[in-house]
Amino acid sequence: MSRLIVVSNRVNPPTAAGEETVGGLAMALAAALRQYSGLWFGWSGKTVPTFTGALDTQTLDGVTSAVVDLEEADLEEYYNGYANKTLWPLFHYRTDLVAYDRVYGEGYSRVNRRFAETLAPLIQPDDLIWVHDYHLIPLARELRMLGIKNRIGFFLHVPWPAHQVFTTLPRHRQLVEAMFDYDLVGFQTAEYLQAFEEYVLVEAGGAQLNPDTLKAFARSLKVGAFPIGLDAAEFARMLHSPKARRMRDLMTATTVFRHLVVGVDRLDYSKGLEERFMGFERFLADNPDMRREVLMLQIAPVSRESVDAYQEIRGRLDALSGRINGEFADVDWNPFRYVNKNYRRDELAGIYGAARLGLVTPLRDGMNLVAKEFVAAQNPEDPGVLILSRFAGAARQLTDALLINPNSPEEIADALKRALSMDKAERIRRWRALFDNVQREDVTAWRDAFVTALAGVRVKRTALAG
């Protein structure tokens, strides 16, 4: 078996089962690597005055990680800049928030080059290289320039936007051309794959050679949809851990006589938090008879705090949560708990297990693994109901959730009412279908499908240089 090298911006080697917090990518990659004598390469999360390329390497739980520090300017122009002020809002359809700044583009290219130069000496001839997410789109191009001929795959964890949205990006063509230096490019859903294909056919004048092969820029590229899943076996174990049980008991004790509604998201404008808060407010206003039966808990650890848009949304959410409690709280009851703390995954599993309703309503989301974790944590004999945005990639698989339009607080309020009134037979029927999917299409199935497809690509390549 070839060695697998995984490359992602953020590298979170597991410290101990369950200690990792919100963020599906890190969990999935750790799970994916455990089966291989693999290497996980990326940014350390730290900065130094001058880039040195020095590697910090450690092995934990069978996963070897090698991380490198970046410069202050890299953090500003690559991570806060092109990745999180340009590509992130663009790929999540927030063109109003996109910053088009050449300096960011230069920082993005520079860091991808630095990653390639640091990684290249570690690569052995048979290694399979698997690059992850929007931070690293041009990495294969940079590696090819250094003479690397290995099979290289790329997986995009976030949505690929519609053609009309993507072309608002200056130099959009260069970005897609760089993707043709990979051997395989994977997306979360068939819908994102189609949007990419449309760009290649319409904008780049490419051709579809067969259902999984595109041709453009004088090269061919394998493409596919590979929906990411949970480490279902590990999650099931975690659910019975002392920390998960304790949290479930604690939550049950603090919600006596009430149904717990739960949301867990990084504090990000793509997650639809404002609309969700307003949907809950609307439900309270419209249903005075049901009001005191519920308690909503929203966990939203702060994220990307140096980016203005994230600071602004935080302020708006603070005000909204205060307004809801100010309007509806009573001497013995607060309808809304809003918490900006980060929790361990085993504790979150306990919280999901105590909840009657999961509210997962992103405005756009590549997949959303919180939806799958909520399903996996339910009691089969008395399961809760998942309310899920139709714009999360997960909605393509979890079709037995209550699917809603997350832009509409009214639809959210109606779905809350429907879910709270749903009889046990319907809850069980829906949950069984959801759980079956979460078990079947898990992280192992995702990894195996991608790695098998990558290993199977026939390569005819001459290196660009080196």
- The overall longest dimension of the chain from CA atoms, in Å, is 73
Q: Give the Cα-Cα-Cα angle 399, 402, 407 (nearest 5 degrees).
A: 110
Q: Can you tell me the distance from the alpha carbon of 61 to that of 31, in angstroms, rounded to the nearest whole number?
A: 10
- Candidate residues 5, 6, 7, 25; the one interacting with ligand F6P per rule CB under 6 A: 25
Q: Report in angstroms how near the CB of residue 173 gets to ligand F6P at its nearest.
A: 24
Decide if residue 301 touches ligand F6P (CB under 6 A): no
Q: Report in angstroms how near the CB of residue 337 gets to ligand F6P at its nearest.
A: 23
Beta bridge partners of 63: 60
Decide if residue 188 touches ligand F6P (CB under 6 A): no
Helix (H, G, I), strand (E, B) or coil at 454: helix
Closest by CA to 103, choosing from 125, 67, 78, is 78
Decide if residue 241 touches ligand F6P (CB under 6 A): no
Decide if residue 271 touches ligand F6P (CB under 6 A): no
Decide if residue 157 touches ligand F6P (CB under 6 A): yes
Q: State the amino acid at position 317 in one-letter form.
A: L
The residue among 91 and 338 lying less far from ligand F6P, judged by its C-beta, is 91
Q: Are strands 294-299 and 336-339 parallel, antiparallel or unpaired?
A: parallel
From 127, 133, 365, 400, active-site residue: 365
Closest by CA to 13, choosing from 46, 55, 53, 42, is 42
The region of 23-31, 172-180, 269-277, 434-442 touching ligand F6P under the rule CB under 6 A is: 23-31
Provide the token pair at 170: 């200056």
Q: Under rule CB under 6 A, how many of the chain's residues touch ligand F6P?
A: 9
Decide if residue 10 touches ligand F6P (CB under 6 A): yes
Helix (H, G, I), strand (E, B) or coil at 413: helix
- Candidate residues 113, 172, 219, 304; the one interacting with ligand F6P per rule CB under 6 A: 304
The region of 19-27, 30-38, 109-117, 221-229 touching ligand F6P under the rule CB under 6 A is: 19-27
The residue among 158 and 230 lying less far from ligand F6P, judged by its C-beta, is 158
Decide if residue 23 touches ligand F6P (CB under 6 A): yes
Decide if residue 303 touches ligand F6P (CB under 6 A): yes
Q: Report in angstroms how near the CB of residue 345 gets to ligand F6P at its nearest.
A: 14
Q: Are strands 357-360 and 259-264 parallel, antiparallel or unpaired?
A: parallel
**C-alpha dihedral (130, 133, 137, 142), degrees to nearest 10:** -40
Decide if residue 292 touches ligand F6P (CB under 6 A): no
Q: Report in angstroms how near the CB of residue 21 gets to ligand F6P at its nearest.
A: 10
Q: Report in angstroms how near the CB of residue 369 gets to ligand F6P at its nearest.
A: 9
Query: Are 335 and 284 a contacting pair, CB within 8 Å?
Result: yes
Decide if residue 94 touches ligand F6P (CB under 6 A): no
**Is 240 designated active site?**
no
Q: Report in angstroms how near the CB of residue 205 gets to ligand F6P at its nearest.
A: 31
Decide if residue 133 touches ligand F6P (CB under 6 A): yes
**C-alpha dihedral (131, 85, 396, 353), degrees to nearest 10:** 90
From 157, 259, 268, 346, active-site residue: 157
The region of 18-26, 35-43, 241-249, 279-287 touching ligand F6P under the rule CB under 6 A is: 18-26
The region of 20-28, 166-174, 230-238, 458-466 touching ligand F6P under the rule CB under 6 A is: 20-28
Closest by CA to 124, choosing from 255, 262, 3, is 3
Please state, as a whole number, how many other Cβ atoms lie within 10 Å of the Cβ of residue 198.
Answer: 15
The residue among 26 and 214 lying less far from ligand F6P, judged by its C-beta, is 26
Q: State the amino acid at position 195 in one-letter form.
A: A
Closest by CA to 11, choosing from 81, 51, 69, is 69
Per-position x/- string for 158-177, each x denoting binding to ligand F6P as judged by CB under 6 A, each - no binding: x-------------------
Q: Report in angstroms how near the CB of residue 14 gets to ligand F6P at its nearest.
A: 14
CA distances for 153 relative to 35, 223, 365, 404, 456, angstroms: 18, 10, 22, 34, 11
Q: Report in angstroms how near the CB of residue 8 gets to ligand F6P at its nearest.
A: 7
Decide if residue 396 touches ligand F6P (CB under 6 A): no
**Is 365 designated active site?**
yes
Q: Can you tell me the distance from the alpha carbon of 442 to that of 245, in angstroms, rounded to the nearest whole number?
A: 23
DSSP state of 178: H
Q: Are strands 152-155 and 55-60 parallel, antiparallel or unpaired?
A: unpaired
Provide the token pair at 212: 């999984």
The residue among 280 and 374 lying less far from ligand F6P, judged by its C-beta, is 374
- Candidate residues 5, 6, 26, 247; the one interacting with ligand F6P per rule CB under 6 A: 26
Decide if residue 75 touches ligand F6P (CB under 6 A): no
Q: Can you tell me the distance from the alpha carbon of 287 to that of 414, in angstroms, rounded to the nearest whole number?
A: 10
Q: Report in angstroms how near the CB of residue 43 gets to ligand F6P at its nearest.
A: 9
CA distances for 273 relative to 44, 169, 253, 280, angstroms: 29, 26, 26, 10
Terminus-to-terminus CA distance in the chain, angstroms? 27
Which residue numbers are catalytic?
157, 365
Query: Which residues are at the interface with ligand F6P (CB under 6 A)?
Result: 10, 23, 25-26, 133, 157-158, 303-304
